[in-house]
Structure 1
Amino acid sequence: MAQYKNLSALFFLLGFLLKPYDSSAQWGKDNIPNVVLIYTDDLGYGDLSFAGGKIPTPNIDKLFGEGINFTHAYSSAATCTPSRYSLLTGEYAWRSKGRGVARGNASALIDSGRQTLASVFKEAGFKTAVIGKWHLGLGGADGPDWNGVISPGPLDIGFDEAFLIPATGDRVPTVFVKNDRVLNLDPSDPITVSYGEKVGDWPTGKENPELLTTMYSHGHDQTIVNGVSRIGYMTGGKSALWRDEDISDRLVEESRKFISNSGNQPFFLYFSTHDIHVPRIAHERWQGRSGFGPRGDVILQLDEAVGMILNHLEKEKKLDSTLIIFTSDNGPVWDDGYVDLAFELIGDHDATGGLRGGKYSAFEAGTRVPFAVFGPGIPKGETQETIFSQIDLLASFASLLGQSTDVNSAPDSEDHHLVLLGKSEEGREGLVQEAISGVLSYVSNDGFKYIPPSNGAAIVPWGPKIETGFSEKPQLYTLSDKREVENLADKMPEKRAELAKKLQAVIDQK
């Protein structure tokens, strides 16, 4: 893939993004648009009210209604760690082993000094921060030192500041990491974490279900924290433990601090929400408000968080100079380890927006996700049907900021900034989707999708009740067939062979 170095794009960015709020702006530190990337968790296209969802999401709807709504945007994988890895690095996670869903004590998956989306912004003079869910591993070969300096981590790959949920809310340790240390840790009460044998004497969900306020359904039966049993064992660090109900507010608070403290320096904020991932425990002010159970309540909470970020940008007089991207790491899931009535109370709310499958799946609902671009110079109320991959954010912003893309570091990222900003409908030739078990599919820009034969189970085997999309026969669908009902593989053998060849060419790319 060709190296990107487009200095003229600096002036394109000025003229296109800055003109709406300062027609006389010149390129400089006071006139570079800020960028906020809101990366949500397990949110389906149909979860938003603008797309027909039954749970009101007015703040998120604003981004779609007053920006560009991408109807065929994709995360690179149907699970969180590989999607996040690809988003930040510009490389498909499946190109190397060990980049599946990471344990809570996994080593850092992104090498120190590697070019990332964050480092692209930092090299261009932006102040950078990641606030929220990380789930890309921390520390060296032996994993993170929870009681000391935690390195390598985000500060080693282009972020100036970090305020992290180290992995996910359902995995230990249930503590925040600020920059490179556990926040509020008492040295006399050190943290011990294990994903093998039990450590310490803290109760577990399996042994002490009577202590649970949220019952597990499958897995998630190990150490109990805040009435919730998690994946993995931990002990110690009591002063550092979070309260699940407060997570959203704390992430918003830290984001507002970062925005306020940026001063006149342009900033890039990767705001990675925990909502709507399990355990779905909204703040008390939202509990029971949606009528759709805890999953609906945290959708309301997510929308509130987005609104609070927008309001703070406006308060700081930065909303008109900030480009906002809103998207999700993968598609929706219902029972993902806890008994929270997500299936029972779903009613007529279609989280997938009419797509087939969900999180973990090779079908479209696994990776086709909500994606909006909002901000200065962005066309209002437009729909973009061109396929777009989150993996292209790195090369696209590198081009806009006059940076080079390291093709060895980001081999799969392509420059499609014109598509991103609503100036073109000429996007990718195709993209690869990754489902569980390493099953890869290919989506073509001419409206077809190919899923190769595989021997996996037809339903996600551990409990979520989601179709995997796996079959011993090859599958070929049109994207207009949203439910992926009619398999055209036998009717269109030449198209099937063409896409199979294109998929293999991407796999073989070095």
Structure 2
Amino acid sequence: MKTLISISIFFLSAMVATVAQAERPNIIMFLIDDQNPSSVAAFGGDTYTPNLDRMAEEGMKFTRAYASSSVCTPSRYSFLTGRFAGNSHSELYLDAVGGKENQGLPNFNVALERDNMNVGNVLREAGYTTGFVGKFHLGSKLDFPEFYKGKDGWINIPRDAKPGPKTSAQFQHNERWMRRYLKTLGFSWAKNVYPENLHSPYSMHNPEWTTVAALEFIEENKDGPFYLHLCSTLLHGPDRSWRNSMDYPLVTGEGEVESLPEVMTPRDELLKTIAEKGFDPDSQVAGEAWIDDSLGAILRKLKELEIDDNTLVIFAPDHGRDGKASVFSHGGCQVPMIMRWPKGIAAGQVCEELVQNIDLVPTFFELGKAEKPEAYRVDGQSLTPLFEYGKAKDWRNHLYLEMGAARATVTKDWSYIAVRHTKEQIAAIKKASPQNLPKAMSYIGRLGIGIRGADRPGFFDEDQLYNLKSDPKEMKNLAYEKAHANRIEEMRDLMQHDLEVIGRPFGEFIPGGNAAEPGQIDKQIEIVKQIEIQGKKINVPAALRKNLGVTDEPVPDDKADKKATREARRKARIEAKSKKKNESGK
């Protein structure tokens, strides 16, 4: 009798465990690159995105979704961890900015840490099979030095490498290297991975290559539960690069390949459809429709396997296009996000609450019944309270954004931005020639995308206030108007609270370390606003040159800049180690 009871209890426990497993959804995080809401028809864009439109009709559209940072690396860090990039404790970030006694400068200087506090590892330990496909951009030699040594180590491929069998073999070597790297980070499975942005001589997009790996993973793990982090390289780069890539079907992250997998609509057929729908197939619509077609292949596979009802699919870009490397909402941090989960989200809903990418990982942990380690820091909050009606009682009233030397507090109606350069940056700004000022004063210290937001008049201002209702493109800075003094104070109080939670110095908000008070570079701000900026082309008008007494502008010395940066990092490391040693001695 006891044996029968034991057997019954065993089978009952097994059944309960099976039911519990079945209740947990599969999760696909479809993360793409550089997309504004205006490039999705469901958000009002004049383009061809039928699968995204259907996703919105069958799920929930988020109209106020944000990435916490507006360039690839820090944003992707948040998508994988649920933390602000400024809270990274990777060796790479500590090397760049020093310990927590210094102001943080989150940009391309963060990486996933060795402690594996990331979604792929925690869900794997909770019983999920976790997969990674596509663009990574979070590697670090400082955090994983062993991966860069020996015959199996990373191969540095020169930018001027010639296409051919040798270069293809190097690309293939590095792709296999990425698989090992991701498994060390805690993912169960990885395939068809791009280490970072596309690399010459094979810098053409190939969504079929990432899609075929995603379909393979889904097929292999259809019995679930599974988590797939699927990262397309689209829509990175100039608009024309997307269309040009369509003419190079055999170029992948493994170099040249012999055939194109037949998993998406044939490229010629897709271009023909775009034209039939009334769009120019040589315009940006080609890239927008191309990534949409990749999503369509994923949705069809889920339907075919009869697992789409209990699979949560999230579509979101890592940031916008026009305001990269800024903390502007328009074209920078605000992104189009859509979720579809027939079993858990009613069709046709619109959520207008303030949400951001740090909220996704805690959502996945809750749905996957995953217990994160006690030491795991999460800055976001689960989105599940929003799934039923698109709103929830006592939902947050503002967001915190970060990008290099800039921070932002965003409410539904207002955005306040504080730009606070460090003492070292201020010293460099004061020494910079007019030609070099835009680079020195950009939030991330570089030209190109670093000053893409400079098309807004207030970009370089240390304090900025925008009315998002009347000025959605953030063109008129109201921060210095007396009529808005109370509003500024309210927004600063919200930022103060968030900065205290972060725990690093920042300007006059949290004094200490290398943080500096505003008002020290007013002259340089006045000058830089008169300079003509077009991408990496800087033109100092003749009248300004004459007024400043500049006769011969020096060429920007990138080598000197890099040397000075390395030296500053070296000193910061020495100081941090010395302080740590003294504290442990006490």
- Given the two structures, how large is their TM-score scaled by the length of structure 2? 0.60
1:454-465 → structure 2 map (5 Å cutoff): 457=438, 462-463=447-448
CA distance in structure 2 between the partners assigned to 1:407 and 1:366 by the alignment: 33
What letter matches 2:214 in structure 1?
Answer: S
Q: Does 1:418 align with 2:385?
A: yes
1:423-434 → structure 2 map (5 Å cutoff): 424-425=391-392, 426-434=394-402
Kept in 2, the 8 Å contact 1:109–1:137? The answer is: yes
Among candidates 156, 159, 178, match of residue 187 of structure 2: 159
Q: Does 1:125 align with 2:127?
A: yes
CA distance in structure 2 between the partners assigned to 1:311 and 1:265 by the alignment: 17
Q: Give the match for residue 388 of structure 1.
A: 355
> Displacement of 1:477 after TM fit?
2.3
CA distance in structure 2 between the partners assigned to 1:294 and 1:142 by the alignment: 45
Q: Give the match for residue 219 of structure 2.
A: 260
Among candidates 450, 454, 459, match of residue 470 of structure 1: 459
What letter matches 1:310 in structure 2?
Answer: L
CA distance in structure 2 between the partners assigned to 1:304 and 1:165 by the alignment: 19
Seen in structure 2, the aligned counterparts of structure 1 residues 309 and 68 have a Cα distance that, compared at 3 Å, is same
> Displacement of 1:127 after TM fit?
1.0
Q: Give the match for residue 502 of structure 1.
A: 494
Listed one character per residue, the Cα deviations across residues 241-272 of structure 1 (whole Å, up to 9, x for unaligned) are xxx35x21111111111011004121111111
> Displacement of 1:154 after TM fit?
2.0
Kept in 2, the 8 Å contact 1:67–1:379? The answer is: yes
Unaligned 5+ residue runs, structure 2?
1-15, 97-104, 156-172, 248-266, 422-436, 504-586
What letter matches 2:368 in structure 1?
Answer: L
Give the secondary-structure state (helix, strand or coil) at the position aligned to 2:453. coil
Relative contact order (C-alpha < 8 Å, sep 6+): which is higher? 1
Runs of 4+ in 1 over 6 A off after TM superposition: 458-461
Q: Give the match for residue 371 of structure 1.
A: 337
Kept in 2, the 8 Å contact 1:120–1:397? The answer is: no
- Given the two structures, how large is their TM-score scaled by the length of structure 1? 0.69
Q: Does 1:448 align with 2:414?
A: yes
What letter matches 2:495 in structure 1?
Answer: L
Q: Give the match for residue 349 of structure 1.
A: none
Q: Does 1:70 align with 2:26?
A: no
Task: Choose 1 or 2 for highest CA Rg.
Answer: 2
What letter matches 1:319 in structure 2?
Answer: D
1:324-403 → structure 2 map (5 Å cutoff): 324-333=313-322, 358-364=323-329, 365-376=331-342, 377-403=344-370
Seen in structure 2, the aligned counterparts of structure 1 residues 91 and 267 have a Cα distance that, compared at 3 Å, is same
> Displacement of 1:388 after TM fit?
0.3
> Displacement of 1:463 after TM fit?
4.1
> Displacement of 1:466 after TM fit?
3.2
Q: Which has the higher helix share?
A: 2
CA distance in structure 1 between the partners assigned to 2:106 and 2:193 by the alignment: 18
> Displacement of 1:122 after TM fit?
1.7
Among candidates 223, 242, 245, match of residue 282 of structure 1: 245
Give the secondary-structure state (helix, strand or coil) at the position aligned to 2:309. helix
Q: Give the match for residue 154 of structure 2.
A: 146
> Displacement of 1:56 after TM fit?
0.4
What letter matches 1:430 in structure 2?
Answer: H
Seen in structure 2, the aligned counterparts of structure 1 residues 416 and 369 have a Cα distance that, compared at 3 Å, is same
> Displacement of 1:81 after TM fit?
0.4
1:26-175 → structure 2 map (5 Å cutoff): 27-96=19-88, 97=93, 98=96, 102=108, 109-137=111-139, 140-141=144-145, 144=148, 145-146=153-154, 150=177, 153-171=181-199
Kept in 2, the 8 Å contact 1:73–1:369? The answer is: yes
Seen in structure 2, the aligned counterparts of structure 1 residues 420 and 82 have a Cα distance that, compared at 3 Å, is farther
Q: Does 1:311 align with 2:296?
A: no
CA distance in structure 2 between the partners assigned to 1:504 and 1:95 by the alignment: 16
1:473-484 → structure 2 map (5 Å cutoff): 473-481=462-470, 482-484=472-474
Give the secondary-structure state (helix, strand or coil) at the position aligned to 1:451. strand
Kept in 1, the 8 Å contact 2:326–2:406? The answer is: no
Listed one character per residue, the Cα deviations across residues 349-384 of structure 1 (whole Å, up to 9, x for unaligned) are xxxxxxxxx222221120100111111231211111
Give the secondary-structure state (helix, strand or coil) at the position aligned to 2:245. coil
Q: Percent identity?
A: 26
Kept in 2, the 8 Å contact 1:442–1:499? The answer is: yes
Moved more, 463-472 or 251-260: 463-472
> Displacement of 1:413 after TM fit?
2.3
CA distance in structure 2 between the partners assigned to 1:373 and 1:432 by the alignment: 22
What letter matches 2:137 in structure 1?
Answer: H
What is the aligned residue count?
388
